[in-house]
């Protein structure tokens, strides 16, 4: 149980984006979620629902941040840098999760931009 979080004030005013996808939007737990913020021109991202555990990948951030826009991002490189096995269960296949990840990254980069 989390009782308290201490966050540096500088992070409270940074641009951020949150994207989630569910099988059934009204009642379902998110299939995949991405939370991101932009700090000093770089997008930082956390992922959940893609693998067994939530994670942050500096390697994925590097691919995204070294691209001029979403069309320059090599999705196969992003997929290669996922640190754990992608879930494949009753909620969604690994292929569906990969497809959704690409669309969600496009949305995050569209909201926050890539420098």
Exposed e or buried b per residue across 78-95, where buried means at least 16 C-beta atoms within 10 angstroms of its C-beta = beeebeeebbeeebbeee
Alpha-carbon dihedral of residues 5, 49, 56, 82, nearest 10 degrees? 170
pLDDT at position 38: 95
Q: What is the value of pTM for the model shown?
A: 0.86
| Confidence category of residue 25, pLDDT binned at 50, 70, 90 | low
Instruction: Please list the residues that pair with 20 across neighbouring strands.
Output: 33
pLDDT in tens, 64-79: 998 876 777 888 899 9
- Residue 49: the pLDDT is 94
Answer whether 49's CB lies under 8 Å from 30's CB: yes
Rounded Cα distance, 51 and 79, in Å: 12
In whole angstroms, what is the distance from residue 85 CA to residue 82 CA? 8
For the domain bounded by 9-112, which CATH number is listed? 3.30.390.50
All structural domains of the chain with their residue ranges: 9-112
What phi and psi values does residue 46 have, to the nearest 5 degrees?
-120, 140
Q: Exposed, middle or buried, 28 (CB in 10 Å: 0-12/13-18/19+)? A: exposed
Summarised one tens digit per residue, pLDDT across range 76-105 is 899 999 999 999 998 899 999 999 999 999
């Amino acid at each position: 149980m989390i009782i308290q979080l201490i966050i540096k004030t500088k992070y409270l005013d940074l641009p951020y984006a949150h994207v989630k996808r569910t099988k059934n939007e009204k009642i379902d737990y998110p299939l995949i979620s991405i939370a991101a913020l932009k700090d000093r021109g770089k997008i930082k991202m956390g992922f959940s629902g893609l693998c067994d555990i939530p994670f942050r990948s500096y390697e994925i951030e590097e691919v995204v941040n070294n691209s001029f826009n979403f069309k320059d991002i090599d999705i196969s490189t992003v997929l290669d840098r996922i640190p754990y096995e992608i879930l494949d269960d009753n909620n969604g296949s690994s292929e569906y999760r990969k497809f959704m990840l690409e669309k969600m990254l496009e949305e995050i980069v569209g909201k926050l931009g890539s420098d």
